[in-house]
Chain A
Amino acid sequence: NSKVIQTPRYLVKGQGQKAKMRCIPEKGHPVVFWYQQNKNNEFKFLINFQNQEVLQQIDMTEKRFSAECPSNSPCSLEIQSSEAGDSALYLCASSRDWGSQNTLYFGAGTRLSVL
Chain B
Amino acid sequence: GDSVTQTEGLVTLTKGLPVMLNCTYQTTYSPFLFWYVQHLNEAPKLLLKSSTDNKRTEHQGFYATLHKSSSSFHLQKSSVQLSDSALYFCALRELSGSFNKLTFGAGTRLAVCP
A contacts, CB < 8 Å to B: 2, 4, 33, 40-43, 45, 48, 56, 91, 93, 98-101, 103-109
Contacts of B93 in A (CB 8 A): 100
Expressed in whole angstroms, the minimum distance between the Cβ of B97 and any Cβ of chain A is 9
In the assembled complex, the Cα of A106 lies from the Cα of B36 at a distance in Å of 10
- Pick the contact of A98: B89, B100, B106 (CB < 8 A): B100
In the assembled complex, the Cα of A105 lies from the Cα of B104 at a distance in Å of 14
Offer 30 A-B interface pairs, CB within 8 angstroms, sorted by A: A2-B42, A2-B43, A33-B101, A40-B106, A41-B87, A41-B106, A41-B107, A42-B104, A42-B106, A42-B107, A43-B102, A45-B103, A56-B101, A91-B44, A93-B102, A99-B100, A100-B51, A100-B95, A100-B100, A101-B32, A101-B49, A101-B51, A101-B95, A103-B34, A103-B46, A104-B46, A106-B44, A106-B45, A107-B43, A108-B43
Contacts of B51 in A (CB 8 A): 100-101
Query: Size band of the B side of the interface?
Result: 20 to 34
SS class of chain A's interface: helix, strand, loop or mixed? loop
B104 near A104: Cβ-Cβ < 8 Å: no
B41 near A108: Cβ-Cβ < 8 Å: yes
B contacts, CB < 8 Å to A: 32, 34, 36, 41-46, 49, 51, 87, 89, 93-95, 99-104, 106-107, 109
A4 near B43: Cβ-Cβ < 8 Å: yes
In the assembled complex, the Cα of A2 lies from the Cα of B87 at a distance in Å of 17
When C-beta atoms are compared, the residue in chain A nearest to B99 turns out to be A56
A109 near B32: Cβ-Cβ < 8 Å: no
In the assembled complex, the Cα of A57 lies from the Cα of B44 at a distance in Å of 21
A48 near B101: Cβ-Cβ < 8 Å: yes
In the assembled complex, the Cα of A47 lies from the Cα of B54 at a distance in Å of 33
When C-beta atoms are compared, the residue in chain B nearest to A97 turns out to be B100
In the assembled complex, the Cα of A48 lies from the Cα of B98 at a distance in Å of 12
Contacts of A105 in B (CB 8 A): 46
Give 18 A-B pairs besides A101-B49, A106-B44 with Cβ atoms closer than 8 angstroms: A2-B45, A40-B106, A41-B107, A41-B109, A42-B104, A42-B106, A43-B89, A43-B104, A45-B102, A56-B99, A56-B101, A91-B43, A100-B32, A101-B95, A106-B36, A106-B45, A108-B42, A109-B43
